[in-house]
Amino acid sequence: MSHSAVRRLPSWAPVLLLVVALVLTGCAPDQYPQTTLLPRADYAREADDILRKTLLWATIVFVLVEGALLVAIWKFRDRPGAAEPVQTHGNTTLEIVWTIIPAFILAMIAVPTVRTIFKTAQKPGPDALQVEVIGHQWWWEFRYPQLGITTAGELRVPSGRTVSLEMTTADVLHSFWLPQFAGKRDVFPGRYNNLWFKAEVEGNFPAQCVEFCGVQHGRMAYRIVSLKPEEFDAWAANFNTPPKDFSADSTAAQLVKDGQGLFLTKGCVGCHSMYPALPLIGPNLHHVGSRSHIAAGTLPNTDENLAKWIQHPQAWKPGVLMPDLGLTDPEAQALVAYLRANQ
Ligand code: CUA
């Protein structure tokens, strides 16, 4: 591009380019932003309260210190013929004051911080909904021992009820984060960490792994789906049914029957369970059609994306454990039909 061409660009061109780039890269804003600054659960409010208190004190300190600095710069600036200002060495009163004030401010921050650390470290009672969270390269598994459910990619919770998470990893370090509901916790092999929260609202919220865990760390997202209690109960009851056997169903479409056959013969069944409570090394696929995203938040869960994903997982997430099986287009469509039908 010549110099004159650059000069002719209107001033808003970079903004337009940025917007186009964001749209093209699929960086569309989520309905709910992935932020800790909008607390929607009791735990998140505790953390937000500490942040606001600390920010208030930091703002007061900033204004006073910078203000004093500006006054000193102005008042004692060099002027022609001005005498040297009074030089002070050692002032006991001043030193006591500037020790007491910071000590007071630190205490005002430390007391609520320590109180919150102890409060959030407590374990909720037995009435809480128990969920085991297991990190995998590169997806999250969620097991509900009280409900006999194993699922992946979507942490479904009822609003208004405390959820108690017990978290670990099947392989390397990951970090689990509930942006608007609770904090972050690293997960370690052979160890269990805890986190709890009580969702105040319903919705489908984005979240992602926040500890580098390999080449696809950036595509290890998940959703937190908060439902009304009756909707959650209905989901759990509906989920807790064994997979249908379409080969024995005279009303099932041939495509679905073909898909079921391919699921068994192409090796999918070696890693992916269709039984609601059975964990295998890959994500449990019982009711996968009801999830909003697939491939750990990488793609919206449409028929087209599901077919693309199972045909070419290595193209979407290089290094992922799922191999390219060389599925033809009709085979991929049959598998999609089978996965969709089973819910
Ligand atoms: Cu898992 Cu980063």
- CA angle, 246 as apex, 333 and 336 as ends, to 5°? 20
* Ligand 1 lined by 174 (C-beta under 6 Å): yes
* Ligand 1 lined by 184 (C-beta under 6 Å): no
* Ligand 1 lined by 135 (C-beta under 6 Å): yes
Residue-level pLDDT at 63: 97
The answer to whether 159 and 200 are in contact (CB under 8 A) is yes
Q: How far apart are CA 32 and CA 40, in angstroms?
A: 11
According to DSSP H, which parts of 162-302 are helical?
229-239, 254-265
Q: Whose CA is nearest to atom 1 of ligand 1?
A: 174
Following CA atoms 54, 59, 64, 66 in sequence, which dihedral angle do they give, to the nearest 10 degrees?
A: 120
Q: How far apart are CA 284 and CA 142, in angstroms?
A: 9
User: Per-block average pLDDT, block size 10, for the chain (343 residues)?
Assistant: 54 71 57 87 94 94 95 90 84 93 93 94 92 95 94 95 96 95 94 95 94 94 95 92 84 87 90 86 89 89 92 91 90 92 81
Following CA atoms 325, 327, 332, 338 in sequence, which dihedral angle do they give, to the nearest 10 degrees?
A: -60
Distance 173 CA to ligand 1 centre (A): 7
Distance 48 CA to ligand 1 centre (A): 25
**Burial classification of residue 337, based on how many CB atoms lie within 10 Å of its CB (0-12 exposed, 13-18 middle, 19 or more buried):** buried
* Ligand 1 lined by 153 (C-beta under 6 Å): no
Q: How far apart are CA 23 and CA 83, in angstroms?
A: 63
* Ligand 1 lined by 217 (C-beta under 6 Å): yes
- For 81-202, strand residue ranges (E) read 129-136, 139-144, 149-152, 154-158, 162-169, 174-177, 184-187, 193-198
Residue-level pLDDT at 244: 86
Q: Which atom of ligand 1 is nearest to the CA of 220?
A: 1
Residue-level pLDDT at 24: 56
Q: Which atom of ligand 1 is nearest to the CA of 173?
A: 1
* Ligand 1 lined by 209 (C-beta under 6 Å): yes
Distance 136 CA to ligand 1 centre (A): 8
The answer to whether 339 and 309 are in contact (CB under 8 A) is no
Distance 318 CA to ligand 1 centre (A): 15
What length is written for the chain? 343
What's the half-sphere exposure (Cβ side, CA atoms, 13 Å) at 242? 3
Read off the tokens for 65.
């210190």
Q: Is 81 helix (H, G, I), strand (E, B) or coil?
A: coil
Distance 194 CA to ligand 1 centre (A): 18
* Ligand 1 lined by 154 (C-beta under 6 Å): no
The answer to whether 299 and 219 are in contact (CB under 8 A) is no
Residue-level pLDDT at 154: 94
Q: How far apart are CA 239 and CA 2, in angstroms?
A: 62
Distance 45 CA to ligand 1 centre (A): 25
Distance 9 CA to ligand 1 centre (A): 41
Distance 212 CA to ligand 1 centre (A): 5
Residue-level pLDDT at 311: 92
Q: Which residues pair with 317 in a beta bridge?
A: none
Q: Which atom of ligand 1 is nearest to the CA of 213?
A: 2
Number of neighbouring beta carbons within 10 Å of residue 28: 8
Q: How far apart are CA 130 and CA 145, in angstroms?
A: 7
* Ligand 1 lined by 213 (C-beta under 6 Å): yes
Which DSSP category does 323 fall into? P
